[in-house]
Amino acid sequence: MARKTATDDPLAPLTLAVGQEDLLLDRAVREVVTAARAADADTDVRDLTSDQLQPGTLAELTSPSLFSERKVVIVRNAQDLSADSVKDVKGYIGAPVEEITLVLLHAGGAKGKGLLDAARKAGAREVACPKMTKPADRLAFVRSEFRATGRSATPEACQALVDAIGSDLRELASACTQLVADIEGTIDEAVVARYYTGRAEASSFTVADRAVEGRAAEALEALRWAMSTGVAPVLITSALAQGVRAIGKLASAPRGARPGDLARDLGMPPWKIDRVRQQMRGWSADGVAVALKAVAAADAGVKGGGDDPEYALEKAVVAVARAARSGRA
């Protein structure tokens, strides 16, 4: 989700969209163009890549018109502009033309930082569009998508959607749109499972959930489906490790602690605390140690230490599921 700073007026003379998340960058552009065309249906939109903005091009595009038409000039990958073009842009933003909105898309970072600093100093409206590399970021994005439509989705549903779809923000946004259009009332985990059954079953986290619950046959079935649909083996070992570590963390936590306190201390959302509590029934301390060792061996196997990654994963899944029953009488 794009975060805005300075003025929130999309018709500000200069909008600076910073980051590398394509969906958010495109949304930042669309917001400006939509606002401009709402003000003037005949708005002239010029969308340029950095190599298309040659020295003198900006001056030509922003020169006064006999008809005083509104314009939006978009410059993508502004960090790659030539030194002469950067000079042109810096000169323009110091004295912008009325009825023209300039939108600079910049990846951030050290490259082209002089232009970035100049735009900020000029009072640019800034939209942050960071790459969402962490699962928690994608989860927050899904929640914001539902919230923006005024719809309610349970925490479990949001997590299930991220597990099912993966890291592609465009696909996550599309899935949220589809669910909002098709479903009345609160969107829950069962709804997500119904819509994305095949993908959810292929999720690395589904494999891990079934394994730590001691459901070996279902975990193996989910594993084979995941492998057949191209889920990377390393994602599965990572999910297994996270699942087992969550069991170990919660098992060693003080008894009687409130879910909110546990969530803060263990770095888990409250709803996950409840899920792990259900999953940890049947686990013992020795079982956690055995499971972590098996997952570590599988991780080494899938990263080049073995000849058959799928076999290494099957062994780990069976070992984790067996460990999940180690504390039962």
Q: Is 254 helix (H, G, I), strand (E, B) or coil?
A: coil
Partner residues linked to 183 by β-bridges: none
Top-confidence range, 153-167, 188-202, 222-236: 153-167
Q: Are 70 and 43 in contact (CB under 8 A)?
A: yes
Q: What percent of the chain has pLDDT over 70?
A: 89
Q: What's the pLDDT at 267?
A: 72
Predicted confidence (pLDDT) per residue in 288-304, tens digit: 999 999 999 998 888 87
CA 54 to chain centre: 34
Predicted confidence (pLDDT) per residue in 21-54, tens digit: 988 999 999 999 999 999 999 899 999 999 999 9
State the DSSP string of 53-101: --TTHHHHHTS--TT---EEEEESSGGG--HHHHHHHHHHHTSPPTTEE
Burial tier of 81 (Cβ tally within 10 Å: 0-12, 13-18, 19+):
buried
Predicted confidence (pLDDT) per residue in 168-222, tens digit: 888 889 889 989 988 899 999 888 888 776 565 557 888 888 999 999 998 998 8
Q: What's the pLDDT at 7?
A: 60
Q: Which two tokens stand for residue 287?
A: 């079982």
Query: Mean pLDDT, to the nearest integer, of 233-243?
Result: 88
Separation between Cα atoms, residue 285 and residue 232, nearest integer Å: 29
Q: What's the pLDDT at 5?
A: 47
Q: Structure pTM?
A: 0.61
What DSSP character marks residue 316? H
Average pLDDT of the chain? 86
Q: Residue type at 126?
A: E
Q: Which two tokens stand for residue 233?
A: 């083996």
Partner residues linked to 104 by β-bridges: 16, 75
Q: Are 74 and 45 in contact (CB under 8 A)?
A: yes
Confidence of residue 153 (pLDDT cuts 50, 70, 90): very high
Q: What's the pLDDT at 98?
A: 87
Q: Picking from 83-97, 145-159, 263-277, which range would have the lowest pLDDT averaged per residue?
A: 263-277
